[in-house]
Structure 1
């Protein structure tokens, strides 16, 4: 049985969950609490980041590496193209999207959500240990400072992150159009990566997170303005998730 160590809120973990589900793999989820997760993950892997899977005494860390492992585990419903050119293109897209959307959307969203502990704490603690909300409330000031420092979250980086997200969405839509794909004419890890990492903006019902009903105004306005550019990602999510 595969064990997935994760944060439910994480869009990189959503990418790993999607890959596991798409490949039809049975797995058990271990939801961790931000901050406290470091000790648990460092027992398994070199870095403290999630997602991490454990399977048959093997440990795989990182969403891209997890997809590699799953495609090696089963040839059914491959996410990585076999043809060398398409394979290279899919991996390049994934690397670009991890950086330009994955990291950027995390920075941008947390920049505003961390100003609203009443909203972000239920999201961070969702489906974690029963005491998670209490611990996070007590230590939120410290956790917020650590997250901002570790992820380089501030006014300047948030503004730069939004520019990167907008540029990436333009590139995605120019390449895929309204009903195409990022590589070739079929669904690959590139498409999965794009849609999964955009879930904080898409906020699909299947992404089981208690989204705030009254999010920070600037964040809400950004999501509203970008909605026309998110239609392709929404189609991919609806069709393949």
Structure 2
């Protein structure tokens, strides 16, 4: 069976999970422990970042490389159009989403977590001890903002990311105004990438993730709750309802993060 080494709230991992579900492929999720698990992942794949896919003896790292590998290895329910122009647009939009929504979304999420103590603690895994949740929630937002400035996640960077995401969401709403999908009349890699990466902007409605139920449909203030972008998120949630398997139907390694085993 396919094995996906992941973080549950990684939007790049979610991109791959959505592709796997769309292609109706069975897989097992393996939650990587931050730190020691990432060192073991490096031994397996040559990098510490998730997602990483293991298919028998084949190891594939990076969400785009995984998507293209799955397209070659499991061509049923293709995600790349045959038409050359549509194929080019699909690949271009996939790359744009990775670099725009993916990176700016991460900065905007960190900014929202810094400002909102309740939001910060609510996304911690259910298994997190209460004392640790209290400790995380007690850290002043301005302290986190100051620390983030040194690594590109300060207030100015977050503000710029937030502004850029508004433009991205407006563009997506316009594209989807008279089209069921971003490229053509059937779902493509562009749709699955954009939908999966938007995970951290607003959590989808439904039990797709191991998060508290009250977080479903919630997300980054100013984006998730902005009525101007509701057409996009409604489209995204319809895509999930049709193609994403609910958590109870997914063969996954549940519970707290565990250390991975290297064969």
TM-score range, shorter chain: 0.7 to 0.9
RCO higher in 1 or 2 (8 Å CA, sep ≥ 6)? Answer: 2
Asked if the contact 1:178/1:232 (under 8 Å) is kept, the reply is no
Across the two proteins, how many residue pairs are aligned to each other? 233
Partner of 1:83: 83
Asked if the contact 1:50/1:61 (under 8 Å) is kept, the reply is yes
Change (3 A) 1:229 1:45: same
CA deviation digits over 1:33-54, x for unaligned, max 9?
3344321221122322111011
Query: In the alignment, does 2:222 pair up with 1:224?
Result: no
In the TM superposition, 1:87-106 aligns within 5 A as 87-106=87-106
* DSSP-derived class of the 2:77 partner: coil
Partner of 1:55: 55
Structure 1, unmatched stretches of 5+, are: none
CA distance in 2, matches of 1:161, 1:195: 18
CA distance in 1, matches of 2:131, 2:49: 20
* DSSP-derived class of the 1:165 partner: helix
Displacement after TM superposition at 1:30 (Å): 0.7
Q: CA RMSD in A?
A: 3.2
* DSSP-derived class of the 2:47 partner: coil
CA distance in 2, matches of 1:125, 1:59: 27
Displacement after TM superposition at 1:9 (Å): 0.9
CA deviation digits over 1:98-148, x for unaligned, max 9?
11111111111122214567654563545xxx6x6589769968xx79x94
| Bigger proportion of residues as helix | 1
* DSSP-derived class of the 1:202 partner: coil
Change (3 A) 1:108 1:38: same
Partner of 2:3: 3
Mean alpha-carbon deviation: is it higher for 3-12 or for 114-123?
114-123
Query: In the alignment, does 2:114 pair up with 1:111?
Result: no
Partner of 1:153: 153
Partner of 2:249: none
Change (3 A) 1:85 1:139: farther
Mean alpha-carbon deviation: is it higher for 30-39 or for 111-120?
111-120
Partner of 2:190: 190
* DSSP-derived class of the 1:29 partner: strand
* DSSP-derived class of the 2:101 partner: helix
CA deviation digits over 1:194-235, x for unaligned, max 9?
111112333222332425959xxx933442115424333233
CA deviation digits over 1:130-187, x for unaligned, max 9?
6x6589769968xx79x94796211111111112211111222222225422112211
Partner of 1:234: 237
Mean alpha-carbon deviation: is it higher for 220-229 or for 30-39?
220-229
